[in-house]
Structure 1
Amino acid sequence: MAALDQKSPNVLLQSLCCRITGKSEADVAHQFQYAVRVIGSNYAPTIERDEFLVSEKIKKELLKQRREADAALFSELHRKLQTQGVLKHRWSILYLLLSLCEDPRKPPSRVGSYGAVFAQALPRDAQSTPFYYARPQSLSLSYPERSALAAHNASSMGTSGISSLGVYSVNGPGPGAQSLLTGPGPQPVADPARGSRLAWALPASGSSSGAVPPTSRPTAGPGSAPLLRPSQRQRRDADGSAEISEAALVRDILYVFQGIDGKFIKMCTPENCYKIDSKVPLCKSLRDMSSRLAELGWLHNKVRKYTDSRSLDRAFGLVGQSFCASLHQELKEYYRLLSVLHAQLQLEDDQGVNVGMDSGLTLRRLLVWTYDPKIRLKTLAALVDYCQGRKGGELASAVHAYGKTGDPHMRALVQHILALVSHPILNFLYRWIYDGELEDTYHEFFVASDPTVKTDRLWHDKYSLRKSMIPSFITMDQARKVLLIGKSINFLHQVCHDRTQPGKMLPTTKSTDSPRDATELFTDLEGAFQSKIDAAYFETSKYLLDVLNKTYQLLDHLQAMRRYLLLGQGDFIRHLMDLLKPELARAATTLYQHNLTGILETAVRATNAQFDSPEILKRLDVRLLEVSPGDTGWDVFSLDYHVDGPIATVFTRECMSHYLRVFNFLWRAKRMEYILTDIWKSQMCNAKLLKSMPELSGVLHQCHILASEMVHFIHQMQYYITFEVLECSWDELWNKVQQAQDLDHIIAAHDVFLDTIISRCLLDSNSRSLLNQLRAVFDQIIEFQNAQDTLYRSALEELQLRVQYEDMKRQRENEGEWGVTAEQEAVENKRRQEFKDTIPKMCSQLRLLTHFYQGIVQEFLRLLMTSSDESLQFLSFRLDFNEHYKARDPRLRPSLGATRGRRSSNI
């Protein structure tokens, strides 16, 4: 029972027929088809509920009675009745009149014999519900699931001819050589209910086939395809072994067109095609034509199986459901064609027309009439293969790529499907760019959202592009603008708490009313679509930047970063360093942040920084870095700038850490300049005082020379950092910020600015060796300051003792006594000799300091000369402008070949 529950109703019904009759499946074909017809009728009316068909039937009856004038009058009265709209049930009245005019002595009209079969017909509206919703769910007339289609057997399709589908995988299928006939193929006609869409149709009455389709065309129910009555199933010859007639093949072919096995033509699962058993007596021409016609059934099954399996799959998404709906529409048109063919065959049976006559329905005429439908089904089948495993925007890209064909009819077919497929994407897009809403349950849209991201990282991490879901007809620049538009709206709402809608968009532009609007929009990607995206992008981005600049003072905070953290406010930095000198000279563990904060406020009030906005000054603060053993206050002190709210989107934590690194570097370089200034002051002040001590002239001269070298080095470094790095980078950043069209441009320009100063200030990983040498130079400057302070302290103590000795000697001479005694003079001479003995030690210490300093500078210059950055190479030229270091170190003399190579690379 479990196995039976999994089978389709068709299989169960056929099994029931076999058990009742006790015959095989081939022998109960008549009973099975009759049972299908009875169950499918569902006690429906005996004629299709279509006012047009009934009116056409009435006119046909009048014409049969040679009452042409009455037929014309009826058409005119019917047209007037339709325009007035007085009657609601015109179909019922017309059907009553048709029934009353029938002669009761005549046999029942054949229109009722097939009307019940088509009771589940599709609505004529192009936007109707897909056909599988209209048919009884208890009876599936699709191809039985027992004939599973194996993908690896696609290359061995026997006589079905579907192996040629591989040719159409990109540009769409065209007519195969085996399908070309001398007669004209069916022409696509325009369906008024669908605009310019191609419809499946039979050829006009003037075709060479010689058969004219009936005026009344009952539409086939999608779920209940045209079936034949048991009395019309097969026309066998008296001898069962005789050759099968063409009429029997035509009836089998009509079943195969719907994916149902006939008596002679059945699905061959191993070969994955419909074929006639080789034991059946049949001539080669009829066998070949039957195989070519049976290909439509194989194609129908392929498309139908895809739609049945994916239509109820919610994970397939809205785009996938739209794709299935477009395939349903095409199958609906295909079923209408089959109903016309079925009606033609029934009309022949009613009028006693033989299939072999010129006016009958033959295999050759079926080949002609199904030429275009076959090409359309090939296109749909190949499109189904190409779209396997795709969803959302990726599915739309696949359909769009398949529409690049030179056949205008196939291109129109694919464009129609693309319009339906693109309709949900366009709705997603409009809701995103106008309202900032993203309801993408099945992840089909190319904008992705991460709900776990917090508000402070909304701009950077919450929204991103799914590159695989970007339709191929939308460029990457357009997709980036779409992302920015919706992201800007959400940023305004959630971060800036501004619910103002940017711009005044018309309601008609916020949504698309029909797939035709999607077609017109996406076919003009550089015109209408681009203008809509650009208008929303510029309006939203401009409003966001205005809010950030006016309400949250983004540009003012940017300038504050330059003035305080990048030491641009010179008077403030100098005064702050003067006030902090006593505090920072102490050990780092003895510092207190509240004391430093008070000094910071004093420096602000005493300089031009007091004129800044209170909003900026309240964010300026002092920060103490992590303390290491032996650190002084100079090593742990740092300024800080608090950021929050929308401006934290630009000044992220990573950016503030970069600012902190740059500040520490600039603060240390500024301290070196401050130290050298104090050294120069000491030298200038003590030069005259120590003139009376000629033994110090050599040591002082050596100090002046080393100090001059250090001053030159620090001045050149300060010039390079201040002007070539900071000012040039800041000017470039400011120009980009002024010209920025969206917040991303500002963030990108700010990141480039920070990366530039990090690399130019030797703080990146590639410049680690240069930075180590530069820090060694700074350490030598501090060592020199300590050595000179020790020298001056001992020299000034000695000078003070000598002055005191001379004053005492002069005072005693004025009192009439001897100036000094022999013992005092001996002590004085001994002390002076001891001081002179320390001078060589001071000289050697200075010479050693000079040697270390020059060695570090020479290595630093060598690294600069070998750097790939031209600005660093030029810095090495300025640091050694008189080739003082080059004369001492042969490594600083580049060879002629290396010089030429570097010049050629620069060129």
Structure 2
Amino acid sequence: MSYGNIRDPKNPTNLLRSLVCHVTKRKEDEVGPYFQHALRVVGSQLAPSVEKDEFQIAERIKKKLVKQGRQKDAAVFSELHRKLQSQAVLKNRWAVLYLLHELSADPKKRSKASDGVAIFGSGLPVLAHSTPQGAGDQYSSSRLYGSTTLSAQSSGIGSGVSSISGPTPTPMSLLPSYAPTPGITPANQIGSRLVNSLASSRQMDLPVARTASNQGDSRVRVPGNRDDDNLSFEMSEPVLLRDVIYALQGINGRLLKQDSSGQGFTLDPNVGVMRPYRDLVRKISELGWLYMKVRKYVDDRSTDRAFGLVGQSLCAALQQELTEYYKLIAVLESQLQQEQDLGVSVNGGNSMTLRKLVVWTYDPMVRMKALASLVDACKGKKGGALATSIHSHMWTGDPVVRALVRNILKVVSHPICSILYHWIYEGELEDTYHEFFVAADPTVKKDRLWHDKYTLRKSMLPLYITLDQARKILLIGKSINFVRQVCQDRTPIRGRTITKTSDLTPEQAEMLFNQEMDSTFQEIITSVYKDTSKHLLDILFNKYKFLEHLKAMRRYLLLGQGDFIRHLMDLLEDDLSKSATVLYLHNLTGVLETAIRGTNAQFDDPEILKRLDVRLLEVSPGDCGWDVFSLDYHVDGPISTVFTQQCLLMYLREFNFLWRAKRMEYILANIWRVQMDSAKKLNTITEIVPVLHQCHVIAAEMVHFVHQMQYYITFEVLECAWDELWKTVTKAEDLDHIIAAHEVFLDTIISRSLLGDESKTLLTQLRAIFDLIIKFQHTQESFYQAALDELDCRLMVQRQIQLRTEEGEWGGSTADDREDRQRRHKFSENVVKSNRAQLKVLAQTYQDMVQNFLILLAKHSDESLQLLGVRLDFNEYYKAKEPQIRSPMTYGQSSRKTFRD
């Protein structure tokens, strides 16, 4: 070669040297290293990703000019670049643009790099783009891990400059101090010598890049250490960056891999990595472990159909968050690849480093930790329980996490909101996967629809829906189905605006769990609940006359229609006094119809009267008609929802108790009438006057007892409970309130009528007293019959004497007188004394029973029953005889004790 050719100003090599001198502001003898690097860049045969991204290089140059305040230069550059693209002179425009961009870097930013020599501003690794196009798998491995190895097939100078006319520069092998190193190819030695020479020319102490083409790894030796096998050879940061980004995707890198337990990523302990880098890698790779946990949950649950709509919504929300995470990974990979393709040094001002990566992944780390916590909390849950677990994570002070959970909860609550709106507006329960808090049993028949078909599934009740709201939601849909299926009414509900469930938005679903800030959902539920319940009650009261049926129960089954009950007893007295085995239902039904026609009951609604019927209980040996007779009331349709079979049985029990008590009153009234009728007649029989007095006393005691019991049952039990029931029913908001009030009414009268479990002993004692009253009736009837027979005999004797006297004969003979005396003596001995003793025993037995009854009343926990005992012993006759009645369990003393407490 000749010097003249080299100095030819039109020679491309000289033009390139001039360009380098112009850009670097240096003289020709000072730009040797820069010129050598420029030749390698322009003549490179590598085809990296930057080759296809000429637009990005141009944009970087324009942005750099704008950042420096040179907007006009940026516009001029844009126009020149456009014209350059229209010309076919240059075939490697990207290299020229990149060279211009690198030469324009600030000289102050040109510093040493751990993976190569930063010749120009951005710190392009000298060896990063030296691999030729034919490097094959070895090149791919280098690219995969950001390797800075130099291929043995290229010196970085020769082949790429062959197209430039003129002589090539002197090869590195001809330079002084070049000596091949055993085990390293000449091309690698050339690269190493080039690095050292350039470092010397810039007077920098740079670490030496050592490569092994058969391994493809890259380590940097600490200055001053000559031992190639020592662990002081640290892995370069670009290699760690590439592995970290792979770890963020859950992929094992060459150095950073998942541990055997699957609880994170660990670095290969045999690789030398500085402790600060290890800490940074461990901190960043935690995000990859969290990502793997969330992604595994999404992958496992996305194909599980039994997971339900709520669970699939959660998977969709998590997948959306993962998509945003993928965007971050794509940006990081793109930037890292771009920096490596463009040769940007890791120590450059705008380059990616592990420390910067920690900062960039801080917010994703927070979000991914929250997602992983959600995933752990949601394992094994579905439906409303799943929504509850998610909602519990909103109680945090971190606004980022709270906003994240809120967005997820919007998506998750959408299926619940959709099912809920279908239920409250259309009465349809579209819960295929059993994840809603309202459950339906399709096997339940219509007559039990209200009670058994729809129930609350509390395990699926979301935490943000209160139990009161859930009860109203259940009642709304249940009322709609009850009206349509049981009441057979399909008229539209007045005052209700139907929301189309197909148009629900996440904002509407947000109303479910944002009730502390927005009361719209509560207002919707309250409004729909009132309208639906009012519609149902109007149908029940007006069309099916529920209140009239309730009054009929009070009048007939609870003996509220006094004239009817008295007339019925008069008509049935003869039949019911017979044995229960000789009674016939059709005969009793005829008597019932006669009693209705003969009293004010005939003016009742025919719909009520046709439901009233006679019922005979199961007959036991020795039962009479009074023991098995009962009235019955037939119910069907919607009113049977309130008057259930259980309720009718309670009415039957109460009727039997009241019927027995009414019979005692009826018996005592007959006893009193007989006593009044026979009092004057029997006064002539002087020997029975004490017995008559004894009967009057016993009857008076019994009348007092029965009247007090009747007053207590009629007024303190039935009337008070009925008043509370009527007030509640007329003011009820829904059918459940009516059912509950009716059940409370029945429970009250059952328990206070001594029919409850707590009062079994009292009831047994009371029935014994009632049986004694019946026995007293029979005893008195037999005594009075004997006395009346004796009276008739004596009157007959007197009439015979009078007739004989009128005929002028003696009034009586000795035989007649003897017979009369014998008869009187026999009456006195057999009837008077026997009945007197019998009545004495009966009176004593009665008093003992009443005394025991009062003791039981005094010990009862119900104060109304204690007061009943006080009224029964109004003159304290029994209290003086029995100390237990004066025990602290009596009402007065227990009240004083309560007052003192």
* TM bracket, shorter-chain basis: 0.7 to 0.9
Q: Which moved more, 1:312-321 or 1:279-288?
A: 279-288
Partners of 2:822 and 2:83 in 1: CA distance = 149
Taking the aligned partners of 2:468 and 2:657, their CA distance within structure 1 comes to 39
CA distance 1:267–1:692, change in 2 (3 Å) = same
Give the deviation of 1:851 after TM superposition: 0.6
**Structure 1 residues 591 and 897, CA gap change in structure 2 (3 angstroms):** closer
Aligned counterpart for 1:434 among listed residues 389, 402, 425:
425
- In 2, Cα distance between equivalents of 1:507 and 1:229: 63
- The whole-number CA distance in structure 2 between the counterparts of 1:842 and 1:100 is 140
RCO comparison, higher one (Cα < 8 Å, 6+): 1
Q: 1:118-157, aligned counterparts within 5 Å?
A: none
**8 A Cα contact 1:542 1:742, kept in partner:** yes
Which moves more between the two structures, 837-846 or 697-706? 837-846
Where does residue 87 of structure 1 map in the other structure?
A: none
- The alignment partner of 1:254 has SS state of helix
Which residue number corresponds to residue 312 of structure 2?
321
How far the C-alpha of 1:832 sits from its partner, in A, is 1.4
Q: Specify the alignment match of 1:4 in structure 2.
A: none
Tell me the CA shift for residue 293 of structure 1.
Answer: 1.2
CA distance in 2, matches of 1:104, 1:550: 98
Q: Say if 2:682 and 2:791, in contact at 8 Å, map to a contact too.
A: yes
Q: Tell me how far apart the structure 1 counterparts of residues 846 and 350 of structure 2 sit (CA, whole Å).
A: 112
Matched, 1:291 2:291: no
Q: How does 1:842-853 map to 2 (within 5 A)?
A: 842-853=835-846
Q: Is it true that 1:563 corresponds to 2:560 in the alignment?
A: no
**1:890 maps to 2:883:** yes
Q: Trace 1:406-805 onto structure 2 (pairs within 5 A).
A: 406-503=397-494, 505-508=496-499, 510=501, 513-524=504-515, 527-805=519-797
Change (3 A) 1:284 1:60: closer
Per the TM alignment, residue 379 of structure 1 is displaced from its structure 2 partner at its CA by 0.9
- 8 Å Cα contact 2:346/2:352 also seen in 1: yes
Residue number among 214, 227, 232 corresponding to 2:143 in the alignment: 232
Q: Displacement, 1:562?
A: 0.3
Aligned to 2:683, the other structure's residue is in SS state: helix
The answer on whether the counterparts of 1:299 and 1:381 sit within 8 Å (CA) in structure 2 is yes
Quote the residue 1:204 is aligned against: none
Q: Which SS does the other structure have where 1:712 is aligned? A: helix
CA contact (8 A) 2:456 2:474 kept: yes
Q: Residue in 1 aligned with 2:865?
A: 872
Which residue in 1 is equivalent to 2:341?
A: 350
AA aligned opposite 1:266 = K
Paired with 2:720 and 2:302, the residues of 1 have a C-alpha distance of 61
**Aligned counterpart, 1:404:** 395
Q: Give the secondary structure class of the aligned counterpart of 1:484.
A: helix
2:256–2:268: 8 Å Cα contact kept in structure 1? yes
- Partner in structure 2 of residue 366 of structure 1: 357
Asked if structure 1 preserves the Cα contact closer than 8 Å seen for 2:863 and 2:891, the reply is: no
Deviation at 1:382, TM superposition (A): 1.2
Work out whether residues 702 and 773 of structure 2, in 8 Å CA contact, stay in contact via their aligned partners in 1.
Answer: yes
Question: Could you tell me which residue of structure 2 aligns to residue 841 of structure 1?
Answer: 834
Equivalent-residue separation in structure 2 for 1:296 and 1:109 (angstroms): 37
1:52-101 deviation line (CA, Å, top 9, x unaligned): x999999889879999799999x9xxxxxxxxxxxxxxxxxxxxx99997
Q: Which residue of 2 aligns with 1:245?
A: 236
Residue 728 of structure 2 aligns with an amino acid whose one-letter code is K
Instruction: Determine the C-alpha separation between the residues in 2 that align with 1:738 and 1:418.
Output: 42
Partners of 2:596 and 2:602 within 8 A in 1: yes
| Identity rate, percent | 56
Give SS of 1:747's match: helix
CA shift in 2, pair 1:564/1:72, >3 Å: farther
Deviation at 1:904, TM superposition (A): 1.5
Q: Is the 8 A contact 2:858 2:889 kept in 1?
A: no
Counterpart of 2:578 in 1: which secondary structure? Answer: coil
The structure-2 alpha-carbon separation of the partners of 1:862 and 1:506, relative to structure 1 and needing over 3 Å to count, comes to closer
Q: 2: distance between equivalents of 1:750 and 1:260?
A: 68
Q: 1:531 to 1:816 in 2, by over 3 A?
A: same
- SS where residue 331 of structure 2 aligns? helix
Map of 2:803 onto structure 1: 811
Q: Tell me if the contact between 2:776 and 2:842 (Cα under 8 Å) persists in the aligned partners.
A: yes
Alpha carbons of 1:47 and 1:829: their partners in 2 closer, same or farther (altered >3 Å)? Answer: farther
Query: What is the SS of the residue equivalent to 1:640?
Result: strand
Between the aligned partners of 1:245 and 1:866, the Cα distance in structure 2 is 93
1:306-326 residue CA offsets vs partner (Å, 9 max, x unmatched): 100011101111101111111
2:859 corresponds to 1:859 = no
Displacement after TM superposition at 1:870 (Å) = 0.9
CA distance 1:103–1:540, change in 2 (3 Å): farther
Shift, 1:847, TM fit: 0.1
**Deviation, structure 1 residue 337:** 0.8
Task: Find the residue that maps to 1:576 and give its secondary structure.
Answer: helix
Matching residue of 2:35: none
C-alpha deviation, 1:850, in angstroms: 0.3
Question: Residues 100, 395 of structure 1: CA spacing in aligned structure 2 closer, same or farther, 3 A cutoff?
Answer: farther
TM-score, with normalisation over the residues of structure 1? 0.76
Query: Per the alignment, do residues 576 and 54 of structure 1 end up closer, same or farther by CA in structure 2, a change over 3 Å counting?
Result: farther
| 1:514, distance to aligned residue in structure 2 (A) | 2.0
Native 8 Å contact 1:59 1:71 kept in 2: no
From the superposition, tell whether residues 72 and 667 of structure 1 become closer, same or farther in structure 2 (CA, over 3 Å): farther
Distance 1:867 1:71, change over 3 A: farther
Whole-Å separation in 2 of the counterparts to 1:507 and 1:770: 57
C-alpha spacing 1:405/1:293, structure 2 compared with 1 (3 Å):
same
Q: Which runs of 5+ in 2 are unaligned?
A: 1-49, 96-120, 123-138, 150-209, 218-228
User: After alignment, is 250-259 or 854-863 more displaced?
Assistant: 250-259
TM-score by structure 2 length? 0.76
CA positional deviation for 1:820: 2.5
Q: Deviations over 1:826-860 (max 9, x none)?
A: 21221111111121111100000001000000000
Deviation at residue 810 of structure 1 after TM alignment:
1.5
Q: CA RMSD in A?
A: 3.0
Q: What SS is found at the alignment partner of 1:816? A: coil
1:867–1:691: structure 2 CA closer, same or farther, 3 Å change rule?
Answer: same
Mapping of residues 9-24 of structure 1, within 5 Å: none
SS of the equivalent of 2:211 reads: coil
Shift of 1:528: 0.2
Shift of 1:403: 1.1
1:301-320 superposed matches below 5 A: 301-320=292-311
What are the residue-to-residue correspondences of 1:161-310 with 2, within 5 Å?
A: 230-234=141-145, 235=147, 236=149, 237-238=210-211, 242-270=233-261, 272-310=263-301
The whole-number CA distance in structure 2 between the counterparts of 1:439 and 1:825 is 102
- Write the deviation string for residues 493-540 of structure 1: whole angstroms up to 9, x where unpaired: 111111223235445464553213212453135610100000110000
| CA deviation profile, 1:10-29 (whole Å, cap 9, x unmatched) | xxxxxxxxxxxxxxxxxxxx
**One-letter amino acid of the structure 2 residue matched with residue 777 of structure 1:** I
- Residues in 2 aligned to 1:902 and 1:318: alpha-carbon distance in whole angstroms: 60
How many pairs are equivalent?
722
What's the secondary structure of 2:477's corresponding residue?
A: helix
**What per-residue deviation string (whole Å, max 9, x for no partner) do you get for residues 113-140 of structure 1?**
xxxxxxxxxxxxxxxxxxxxxxxxxxxx
Work out the CA distance in 2 between the residues paired with 1:604 and 1:342. 96
Partner SS for 2:615: strand
